[in-house]
Amino acid sequence: MSIQRLDAGDATAYRALMLEAYERHPQAFTSSVAERAAMPLSWWEARLNSPLDLLLGAFEEGELVGIVGLAFEVREKARHKATLFGLYVAQPYRHGGLGYRLVQALLQEARKRPGLRLVQLTVTAGNDAALALYRRCGFVQFGLEPLAVRVEDQYFDKLHLWREVAAAS
């Protein structure tokens, strides 16, 4: 298994895996499968080529089986922060530490970014497995956003977490 930075050549596989994520876990993502499925492949390619996003993928025998992203701030006063987003591991590859490896690889990349001091993220309240993973990676909760995501007629709260980039993993 290898973890590497994704680029525009990975757009088709990235799109397919993210659409799977949105479909299987709609409460975990702010985007819906319908709105992202409507985006042309060029949108996915642009995201992978954007200097404001860093996306890593885990590959098993050439197949993309896990992903995680980091969004950088453009505003001068917020450039010391980045947001972890879109962590997803395909079902057959879960419970083997791949999510942890992806987050650790992303934090290693974050450490290379000049001036970056912290990484933040949100996780759906009640997603105990994801919360435990993020805590193992050194993230701590600093807030709760009530009714953050609506899926059909259900609302889900989001926990806000953060960690320093330079802190020990």
Per residue in 73-118, pLDDT (tens digit) is: 999 999 999 999 999 999 999 999 999 999 999 999 999 999 999 9
Q: Place domain 2-164 in its CATH homologous superfamily.
A: Gcn5-related N-acetyltransferase (GNAT) (3.40.630.30)
pTM above 0.85, yes or no: yes
Which is it for strands 81-89 and 118-124: parallel, antiparallel or unpaired? Answer: parallel
Residues 72/54, Cβ–Cβ less than 8 Å: yes
Q: Please state, in angstroms and rounded to a whole number, the distance separating the CA atoms of residues 34 and 47.
A: 18
Sheet holding 63-72, edge to edge: 2-5, 53-60, 63-72, 81-89, 118-124, 154-164, 140-151
Q: Please state, in angstroms and rounded to a whole number, the distance separating the CA atoms of residues 21 and 8.
A: 19
Per residue in 141-166, pLDDT (tens digit) is: 999 999 999 999 999 999 999 999 97
